[in-house]
Amino acid sequence: MKFDSTLIELLQNVKSVVIVTGSGVSAESGVPTFRGADGLWKQYRAEELATPGAFFANPKLVWEWYDWRRGIISKAEPNPAHEIVATMEKYYPAFLLVTQNVDGLHRKAGNEKMVEIHGNIWRVRCVEELKESYLYDTPLGSIPPKCDCGALLRPAVIWFGEQLPVDAMNTAMERIQKCELLVTVGTSGVVHPVASFPLLAKSSSAAVVEINVDETPITSISDFSLKGKAGEVLPELWNAVTGKD
């Protein structure tokens, strides 16, 4: 892919970067996305699986779906897109990764300066005591899993209709307002509040770059839109930035 020289200079000169990722960044690791042709929401109804109401109505069904997804994720490895995002964290003096992904692959690739604003699929929360812990068993021994106190455990992820973690949101908004460059990778840009992050960056005079296989609502407000697979575009882009191409 041939990159605009202004884009390469921008990436070489900025000091403060926020990267926002969605499920598309993990697609090449074999983790299904939510929207699009093979997306999970084509096959399943979000309101039956990803809301608090759905969970309390049928915890077994919701947990079976999460158990299936945990099984897929347990076999997945970070792909070249995750690797470059981890490299970028070390390169930029001010860096934050905001991910909507619950798969933990960014952390596995080495990112530490990150907020998982939709939670993490390996964490569970007791619905009575509200305490959280990691539960790595896959497949789960018994479904639905229970806390030692006897109450239900739920996945510690954000479901539709639930508030995002306040600390993570504040960190994300604060850093986006201060950054010079925001890069979105593999997100459809339709789920709020993340959908509004590119606009927030623009209103604070940051440049916006989008990497996606398709056009999204972010495309038209992006300064640069790079169409292609994240696992291919990001390594090529980074080679151009670091003079390795």
Interactions with ligand OAD, residue window 57-96 (CB under 6 A): none
Contacts of 209-214 with C-beta under 8 Å, sequence gap 24+, read: 209/7, 209/181, 209/182, 209/183, 209/184, 210/183, 210/184, 211/183, 211/184, 211/185, 211/186, 211/237, 212/24, 212/184, 212/185, 212/186, 212/187, 213/24, 214/36
222 binds ligand OAD per the rule CB under 6 A:
no
Q: Which stretch binds ligand OAD (CB under 6 A): 5-13, 87-95, 157-165, 174-182?
A: 157-165
Interactions with ligand OAD, residue window 8-37 (CB under 6 A): 22-24, 27-28, 33-36
Least distance CB 67 / ligand OAD (angstroms): 16
197 binds ligand OAD per the rule CB under 6 A:
no
Pick between residue 46 and residue 57 the one whose CB is nearest to ligand OAD.
Answer: 46
145 binds ligand OAD per the rule CB under 6 A:
no
Centre a 10 Å sphere on the Cβ of residue 221 and count the other Cβ atoms it contains: 14
Least distance CB 148 / ligand OAD (angstroms): 28
DSSP-derived pairing of the beta strands 181-185 and 94-99: unpaired
Least distance CB 124 / ligand OAD (angstroms): 16
At residue 108, φ and ψ (nearest 5 deg) are -65, -30
191 binds ligand OAD per the rule CB under 6 A:
yes
Residues designated catalytic: 118
- DSSP labels, 45-107: -HHHHSSHHHHHH-HHHHHHHHHHHHHHHHH----HHHHHHHHHHHHSSEEEEEE---S-HHH
| Residue 164 contacts residue 158 (beta carbons within 8 Å) | yes
Q: Using CB under 6 A, count the residues that bind ligand OAD.
A: 28
Q: Which stretch binds ligand OAD (CB under 6 A): 108-116, 123-131, 183-191, 196-204?
A: 183-191
Which string of x and - marks every residue 102-131 that binds ligand OAD (by CB under 6 A)? ----------------x-------------
Enumerate binding residues for ligand OAD (CB under 6 A): 22-24, 27-28, 33-36, 39, 46, 50, 100, 118, 158-160, 186-188, 191, 211-214, 216, 229-230
